[in-house]
Amino acid sequence: MLALDLFVNGLIFGLFYALMAVGLAMIFGVLKIVNFAHGEFYMVGAYAYVLCALKLGIPAWVALPLAAVAGAALGWLVERTLMRPLYTGYASWGLLKDEYAVVVTFGLSLLLINLVDKVVGPYPYRGPVLIETSRIALGPILLNGQKLIAAVVSAALLVGLALFLKRSLRGRQIQAVAQNRLGASLAGIDATRTTSLVFAISGMLAALSGALLAPLINPSPDVGAFPAIKSYVIVVLGGMGSVWGAMIASLLLGVAESFFAVYVSYDYRDAFGLLILMLVLLFRPQGLMGEKVREL
């Protein structure tokens, strides 16, 4: 039964990873940059949820959408203030585009961590749970109630995102801009607005991931580093910029890690993921799924 247990737990963690990773993949899709502050979107979501619920006494189910709003606002603000130079004709910059993106997002990550550390304090908070039941039996597997709820909400969000990207006008515009920014804008799509939308959605999903996990992880200011590194591994594994690849790779990584931690080594679990990242980038830079799934 251990194997089944590990499998289910791995899948659940994969769902959490996916919420972060799809946002990172979408940002890479439209701007071809890695957002090194993505873990801090997650952290801000976790804090928004915890502080709303604990300090303002807002019920947990209301605090969750508030955290989503906070994440979306942060993502939108970051795009408006810092990402514009990447695509509005600053081609002759001394500091090149890729370097600018790394420096600014890395700086933003440090800024947010230290701001929260200063304003809220370095101590971890314990978030309120969404459901009081501590153990739910799912056939032979016992699951923590909060974990199950969080997994269900994550799965719903991912399905919602997939439908949004496939079916809705805005979603298709995002796909178009990711495929060809110039072509999309010639076809009358407002690429600038679409990029803002991508950042808002990415920020929202990362924040929701943080908020859903807040009761399980007890957020502290540097809590985002760990899921961020997971997301880098996942977007590389799934093919940089591919949302579908990122979803599949998240589940794969979740399950693989869950088994690796038990059967091989817990301490080296993170190094294992990063090693995969290096190997994929070196030998198969298009990702495991290859070109075919790179629709976005």
Partner 1 sequence: MSDAPDFWRKRLAIDARAALAVIAVLALVPLGVSSPYWLGVLIVSMYFALAALGWNLLAGFTGQFSLAPAAFAMLGAYTTGLLDYHLHAPLAIGIPAAIAATAALGGLLGWIVLRLQGPYLALTTLSFAEIARVVIGNSYVFTRGDQGLNVPALMESRVGYYYLFVGVLVATLLVLYALMRGRAGRFWLAIRDDATGAESRGIDVVRYKTLAFALSCAICGLAGSLYGTFSQLVSPELGLLLQTGLVIAMVVIGGMGTLTGPIVGALVVYLASEWLREAGNVQMIVFAAAVILVARFFREGLWGIVTRLRSRPSAARGAA
Q: How far is the CB of 31 from partner 1 (least distance, A)?
A: 10
- Residue 61 in contact with partner 1, rule: CB under 8 A: no
The counts of H helices and E strands in the chain are 11, 2
Q: What are phi and psi of 69, to 5 degrees?
A: -65, -45
**Token pair 């088994």 is at which residue?**
259
Residue from 56, 62, 96, 163 binding partner 1 (CB under 8 A):
96
- Nearest CA to 63 out of 50, 72, 44, 76 is that of 50
- The string over 259-292, giving b where at least 16 C-beta atoms fall within 10 Å of a residue's C-beta and e elsewhere, is ebbeeeeeeeeeebbeebbeebeeeeeebbbeee
Give me the least distance between CB of 37 and partner 1, in Å please. 10
* Binding status of residue 115 toward partner 1 by CB under 8 A: yes
Longest Cα separation, the chain: 61
Q: Does 95 bind partner 1 (CB under 8 A)?
A: yes
Give the span between the Cα atoms of 275 and 271, in whole angstroms: 6
Nearer to partner 1, 92 or 132 (CB): 92
Give whichever of 270 and 295 is closer to partner 1, judged by the CB atom: 270
Alpha helices by DSSP H, 56-144: 60-78, 97-119
- Report the site for partner 1 in 146-185 (rule: CB under 8 A): none
Contact residue for partner 1 among 3, 103, 142, 264 (CB under 8 A): 103
**Residue 11 interacts with partner 1 (CB under 8 A): yes or no:** no
Q: Which of residues 200-239 bind partner 1 (CB under 8 A)?
A: 225, 229, 232, 236
Query: Which amino acid appears at position 94 of this protein?
Result: G
| Smallest separation, CB 282 to partner 1 (Å) | 6
Q: Which part of the chain contacts partner 1 (CB under 8 A), choosing from 15-23, 125-133, 246-254, 276-284?
A: 276-284
Binds partner 1 by CB under 8 A, chosen from 3, 59, 93, 264: 93
Distances (CA, A) of 147 to 19, 131, 213, 266, 294: 14, 10, 8, 21, 31
Any contact of residue 278 with partner 1 (CB under 8 A)?
yes
Q: How many CB atoms lie within 10 A of CB 177?
A: 27
| 136 binds partner 1 per the rule CB under 8 A | no
Report the residue number, 101 or 151, with the smaller CB distance to partner 1.
Answer: 101
Residues 61, 166: Cα–Cα separation, whole Å: 28
- Please report the DSSP string for 121-166 in residue order: -SS---PPPS----EEEETTEEEEHHHHHHHHHHHHHHHHHHHHHH
- Report the nearest approach of partner 1 to the CB of residue 296 (Å): 16
CB nearer to partner 1: give 188 or 266: 266
264 binds partner 1 (CB under 8 A): no
Binding site residues, partner 1, CB under 8 A: 28, 32-34, 82, 85, 93-104, 106-111, 113-115, 118, 225, 229, 232, 236, 240, 267-268, 270-271, 274-275, 277-278, 281-282, 285
